[in-house]
């Protein structure tokens, strides 16, 4: 056990999918895994382990924001031996050609700061996805009936941002979408020498104001989960 994860040794798989919402972790485990078992629920941040096509998988909630992601990713890697970590979550679209319900596979992440920023001091570290996961996800995405985009995303440390000028620069430089966790996940994976990838469903759009109704989210998020699972075990 760790401070934030109450699972015993051996209860966490080497492959971990990480939605931010613990209840989404529950939905993913119940929908996609065989013999899913709740292995811990410390602070209500559920972790489930089961199997998918004979492969052992853990679904672990990460919470919202990079500090929370940093806590769970650090403990999963250092204390439980996780080797492949895939963020599955929602994001806001930032380009006109990126539509609500589309899936973004994040090649790189841009941020103004992360929990690791003080470690780098003056260095602008460029966290990127694991190429084997990235290429496998792009291939897996061809089998789902959804728009897919591959490129850079922005990991923000504020949800209610008032920096319209910053959003404009992100859009100007081709950033596909905005979320709140991937930059720190990629940084930790690079640090520890493990694999990481972020796959996000566009649930709302910064340019159009369109948002995915809550009753339609699960179906759209299912495409993202299928891509993640196929990529993890390609």
User: From the CB of residue 83, how many other CB atoms can be counted at a distance below 10 Å?
Assistant: 15
Please list the residues that pair with 47 across neighbouring strands: 40, 60
Q: Annotated binding residue at 97?
A: no
| Phi, psi for residue 121 in degrees, rounded to 5 | 55, -115
| Burial environment of residue 134 by CB neighbours within 10 A (0 to 12, 13 to 18, 19 or more) | buried
| Phi, psi for residue 50 in degrees, rounded to 5 | -155, -155
Residue 39 CA to residue 46 CA, distance in Å, equals: 8
Q: Annotated binding residue at 226?
A: no
Q: Annotated binding residue at 90?
A: yes
Q: Annotated binding residue at 88?
A: yes
| b/e 157-195 (16+ beta carbons within 10 angstroms → b) | beeeeeeeeebeebbeeebbbbbbbbbbbbbbbbeeebb
Q: Annotated binding residue at 179?
A: yes
Which one from 34, 157, 204, 215 is the annotated catalytic residue? 204
Q: Annotated binding residue at 203?
A: yes
Q: Annotated binding residue at 180?
A: yes
**79 in catalytic set:** no
Residue 85's closest CA among 104, 106, 57, 44?
57
Residue 142's closest CA among 130, 152, 150, 131?
150
| Phi, psi for residue 167 in degrees, rounded to 5 | -60, -40
Q: Annotated binding residue at 24?
A: yes
Please list the residues that pair with 195 across neighbouring strands: 84
Q: Annotated binding residue at 191?
A: no
What residues are designated binding site?
4, 20, 24, 43, 87-90, 179-181, 203-204
What residues are designated binding site for phosphate?
20, 24, 43, 87-90
| Active-site amino acid positions | 204
What residues are designated binding site for a purine D-ribonucleoside?
4, 179-181, 203-204
């Amino acid at each position: 056990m760790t401070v934030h994860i109450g699972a015993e040794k051996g209860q966490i798989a080497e492959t971990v999918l990480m939605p931010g919402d613990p209840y989404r972790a529950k939905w993913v485990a119940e929908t996609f895994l065989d013999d899913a078992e709740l292995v811990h629920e410390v602070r209500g941040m559920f972790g489930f382990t089961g199997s998918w096509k004979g492969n052992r998988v853990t679904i672990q909630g990460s919470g919202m924001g990079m500090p929370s992601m940093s806590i769970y990713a650090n403990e999963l890697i250092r204390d439980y031996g996780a080797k492949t970590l895939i963020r599955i979550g929602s994001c806001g679209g930032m380009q006109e050609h990126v539509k609500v319900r589309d899936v973004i596979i994040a090649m790189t992440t841009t941020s103004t700061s992360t929990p690791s920023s003080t470690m780098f001091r003056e260095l602008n570290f460029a966290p990127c996805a694991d190429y084997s996961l990235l290429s496998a996800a792009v291939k897996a995405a061809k089998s789902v009936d959804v728009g897919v985009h591959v490129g850079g995303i922005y990991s923000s440390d504020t949800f209610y941002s008032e920096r319209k000028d910053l959003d404009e620069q992100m859009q100007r430089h081709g950033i596909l979408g905005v979320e709140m966790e991937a930059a720190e996940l990629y940084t930790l994976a690079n640090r520890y020498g493990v694999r990481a990838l972020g796959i996000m469903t566009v649930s709302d759009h910064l340019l159009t104001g369109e948002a995915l109704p809550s009753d339609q989210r699960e179906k759209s998020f299912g495409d993202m989960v299928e891509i993640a699972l196929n990529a993890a075990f390609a």
